[in-house]
Amino acid sequence: LFSSREGEAGVSIDLHTVFPDLSLDERFFGSYNFEELDRALLAVKELGAEIILRLGETPNPVGKRPYLRLPTTPERIAEIFLRVIAHCNNGFCGGMKLGVKRVEIWQSPDDGFGFFPAREEYFELYKTVSAKIKMQFPKIKVGAYSSGGFASLNNVGLSEKEQSYVPY
């Protein structure tokens, strides 16, 4: 869980948590494990806060580093994320009808972490996933990652890592 603005609470969902085996078919209900997601969603619902769903992969989940370089495509990730949203909003696979209105496609391209090794690949991922979400769920607002670049813009004497944030 993370907080955003007053009255909002975010639920960060690692792809590997809800879809633990990429060798399985994303169209099959049994490929998904929504237990952890459901616990987080219910916690936010009990608070009475609006849910922001952050879909991605944590840069360094304990013991889960192999999930950062997924052997899959942006199109397949989009299909999985569409089913996660459907679980939250349309009751897919025993889910709920929570009316999630905001989704973030999360990765850290400015940090070199995430699904794909190249930053440009994140932009392709975002383009693909956001377009599919908007097509299937036109009322949902789709956001992107948070960046260190904004803080770096106005600073002098930046480290090499901090300088790499600036283009973002």
pLDDT of residue 89: 95
- Report the alpha-carbon distance of residue 134 to residue 125 in Å, rounded: 14
pLDDT of residue 149: 60
Q: What is the pTM of this model?
A: 0.80
- CB under 8 Å to 46, separation ≥6 — which residues? none
**What residues in the chain have per-residue pLDDT under 50?**
1
pLDDT of residue 60: 56
pLDDT of residue 112: 56
E strand or H helix at 9:
strand 8-14
pLDDT of residue 62: 53
Residue 102 dihedral angles phi and psi, to the nearest 5°: -135, 135
pLDDT of residue 120: 78
CB 56 within 8 A of CB 12: yes
